Amino acid sequence: MMENVIDLLATLGGKGRTGGLQAVMGKEMGTQKLHFRVRFEYRFIDRSFRLFRKLKDLKQEAAAIRRKKADALQQIPKKGIDILEVDPNYTVYLKEEEGQMIAYAPVEVLFDAESLEDAVPFLMSG
């Protein structure tokens, strides 16, 4: 089963590549665009019962989901949103939760939004 987790590190104006959610106003008059850097983490939970399941398969499934979502983010136009960069080059990692291994595949998205009202639905659709 696939679920997506939006990991918004709410550090307004943070620094570095893992700055989380960053909003910066444009410097020119009349061009007040919000600039965001967001990390979406797509997770894959293997719900099938297999005694000897391969962890590599979990990572590959999560990476495939990430690839599909990253392509959709780049190709589907959204009102008031300009996608500047989609970076899927993060390591897929495993985490055990409630006795199940879950694979997480992070994607970092850099985008501009005309307003916060345009950005919030995009962030929630992740």
Task: Name the DSSP letter for residue 65.
Answer: H
**Cβ atoms of residues 44 and 102 within 8 Å:** yes
Q: Which amino acid is present at 94?
A: L
- 39 three-class SS: strand
**Cβ atoms of residues 81 and 122 within 8 Å:** yes
Q: Looking at per-residue confidence, does 42 or 100 come out higher? A: 42
pTM of the model: 0.66
Residue-wise pLDDT for 93-106, tens only, equals 998 888 888 899 99
* Bridge partners for 107 per DSSP: 40
Domain residue ranges in the chain: 2-125
Residue-wise pLDDT for 66-96, tens only, equals 999 998 888 878 888 999 999 998 999 998 8
